[in-house]
A and B are shown apart, each in its own frame.
Chain A
């Protein structure tokens, strides 16, 4: 999950932002969002296991 977030964030930050500084900050923001949202959703689903 973290590696997926890393690779996706690199591409998205390079495509959407212009300056290296903006790309850097957006990369961390996007990466953190992906990881944190995934963890939050995982905990929300925790009480409802598949089996």
Chain B
């Protein structure tokens, strides 16, 4: 890494820092609070993890839909991006939904049925609440990633 930085004429500290920041942000996206854990902000990390994961899965329990981009409805792009902000949890939920749909004996079948195996329970009163919970969980994680980025750059304590 240092050799590459020397060849390009860049300062090796900057290249290393960029890698570190990238890994930090990526981990923070994949697991809410992981970036703060790497930065040794344990309490903050656990708080973010608990709040964001609770919001997301509570939203699914309320009947939220797993949004994906539909060209006929371009605004679904933003819903998809917001939900994907939670990281691995979003993909885990999609896997659970698709697996449970064809395996009724699966232990998480009841949970997956609550959010219509990814399609959402549009007939339930809490459908829109659930959607809001999942979107806000993802968007809050983006804020948390930015917070970790600022802490890593020593802009914050």
* Contact B136 A4, beta carbon cutoff 8 Å: yes
CB-CB contacts below 8 Å: B71-110 with A: none
Contact with B along A3-17 (1 / 0, CB 8 A): 110011011101100
Q: Which residues from chain A contact B129 at a C-beta distance below 8 Å? A: 4
Tell me if A18 is interfacial: C-beta within 8 Å of chain B: yes
Interface size band for A: 10 to 19
Q: Chain B binding site: helix, strand, loop or mixed by DSSP?
A: helix
Taken together as a complex, chains A and B put the C-alpha atoms of A41 and B129 apart, in Å, by 16
**Nearest chain B CB to A5 CB, angstrom units:** 11
Q: Which residues from chain A contact B3 at a C-beta distance below 8 Å? A: none
Q: Chain A binding site: helix, strand, loop or mixed by DSSP?
A: helix
Taken together as a complex, chains A and B put the C-alpha atoms of A22 and B51 apart, in Å, by 20
* Contact A14 B47, beta carbon cutoff 8 Å: yes
* Contact B136 A15, beta carbon cutoff 8 Å: no
* Contact B144 A10, beta carbon cutoff 8 Å: no
* Contact A11 B143, beta carbon cutoff 8 Å: yes
Q: Which residues from chain B contact A10 at a C-beta distance below 8 Å? A: 47, 51
Q: Which residues from chain A contact B144 at a C-beta distance below 8 Å? A: 11, 15
**15 residue pairs from A and B, CB less than 8 Å apart:** A3-B58, A4-B132, A4-B133, A4-B136, A7-B55, A8-B55, A8-B136, A11-B52, A11-B140, A11-B143, A12-B140, A14-B44, A15-B143, A15-B146, A18-B156
Known: A4-B136, A7-B55, A11-B140. 7 other contacts (CB 8 A): A7-B51, A10-B47, A11-B52, A11-B144, A12-B140, A12-B143, A15-B144
Chain A residues proximal to chain B, CB less than 8 Å: 3-4, 7-8, 10-12, 14-15, 18
